[in-house]
Amino acid sequence: MNTRSTQESTGARRVAFLGLGVMGHPMAGHLARAGHQVTAYNRSPAKAAAWAAEYGGATAATPRQAAAGASLVFACVGNDDDLRAVTLGDDGAFAGMAPDAVFVDHTTASAAVARELHGLARARGLHFVDAPVSGGQAGAVKGILTVMCGGDEAAFAAMQPVALAYAKAVTRIGDSGAGQLAKMVNQVCIAGLVQGLAEAIAFGQRAGLDMPLVLDVIGKGAAQSWQMDNRGKTMVDDKFDFGFAVDWMRKDLGLVIEESRRNGAQLPVTALVDQFYAEVQALGGQRWDTSSLIRRLKK
Ligand SMILES: NC(=O)c1ccc[n+]([C@@H]2O[C@H](COP(=O)([O-])OP(=O)(O)OC[C@H]3O[C@@H](n4cnc5c(N)ncnc54)[C@H](OP(=O)(O)O)[C@@H]3O)[C@@H](O)[C@H]2O)c1
């Protein structure tokens, strides 16, 4: 692992950022503020224009144009198909990248698409690093994400110091696909934990306890978690209009369950929680934060 404190500062680089959504917008902003020359692309051009007005970078009409002349091309789009849409084809980034340039993908996607694009990039003399993130919107805004990477060591070494502009840690887990597999481990951890927290809060509320007080007390003991610290109070208050969308979580758990069919891992709780999230979607919670699991317990 290499953290900002142990990393020497890097010179300004010419980079591109594709996908200025909830995560990409602030991440690209940190790159611009760190002094890099950023060209941004977003499918809906209005978001790119708004980003450029805020941070002063350039915009491009296609991924290919954004990638031209950049030594590093970052992306944070929705899923496997979106990632193929910004990398491949006549207007895709791969067509515009200079030899030896590195594509860094922050999308949460499958390990299979990471390996596929790594192979296609190598065939063109390019590099591809899968680099999904953890830390949510707040982590992106504050520039304290955790980035888990898969890919060749030299390509990782090229991207790591630059990505530290928006991360507290950027770590190579292994070969291509290993970053996405590590993110799947992360999501398995979160799924069961959020359901446990939801059951605990719903139980405490039915028991008539002062739950903010209870969470404050047990949050200083062995039950403490990031979810309890950051989502406990809003779960008590029944507020979910922020954070990491249920639709995205279902996409991630779908990737996990598909991978488990390949590697034989047993995920009984994760599979159950995935179905609970399907119920939350049916309640209208597609864009609610993942802590909305508690909603189905309050029906
Ligand atoms: N939000 C979180 O807390 C969080 C945390 C960790 C990881 N992630 C992961 O990070 C990724 C992005 O999440 P987000 O919350 O930033 O999503 P978002 O706000 O919905 O942004 C998605 C971005 O991808 C672009 N996009 C989607 N499909 C595209 C396509 N076919 N071609 C070109 N661009 C396309 C969108 O462009 P338009 O503006 O034109 O729609 C937008 O810029 C997801 O994989 C998510 O699972 C999110």
Domain 4-175 sits in CATH at 3.40.50.720
Domain 182-297 class? mainly alpha
Using a 10 angstrom Cβ sphere, with 0-12 exposed, 13-18 middle and 19 or more buried, the burial of residue 223 is middle
The stretch 283-293 carries a mean pLDDT of: 97
The stretch 87-96 carries a mean pLDDT of: 98
Percent of the chain exceeding pLDDT 70 equals: 97
**Residues contacting residue 82 through CB under 8 Å, at least 6 positions apart:** 19, 107
Task: Tell whether ligand 1 has an atom less than 6 A from the beta carbon of residue 78.
Answer: yes
Give, for ligand 1, the residue of 248, 249, 250, 290 to mutate: max count of ligand atoms closer than 8 Å to Cβ. Answer: 248
- Is the predicted pLDDT of residue 26 greater than 90, yes or no? yes
pTM for the full predicted model: 0.94
Please choose, from the candidates 253, 231, 250, the residue with its C-alpha nearest in 3D space to the C-alpha of residue 242: 231
As annotated, the residues of the chain forming the CATH 3.40.50.720 domain(s) are 4-175
Q: How far apart are CA 31 and CA 287, in angstroms?
A: 28
Please choose, from the candidates 209, 290, 280, 297, the residue with its C-alpha nearest in 3D space to the C-alpha of residue 245: 290
Catalytic entry in 47, 183, 239, 299: 183
Tell me the CA–centroid distance for residue 11 and ligand 1, in Å. Answer: 28
Please tell me the predicted confidence (pLDDT) of residue 10. Answer: 58
Express each pLDDT in 111-166 by its tens digit.
Answer: 999 999 999 999 999 999 999 999 998 999 999 999 999 999 999 999 999 999 99
As annotated, the residues of the chain forming the CATH 1.10.1040.10 domain(s) are 182-297
- Output the average pLDDT for the chain: 95
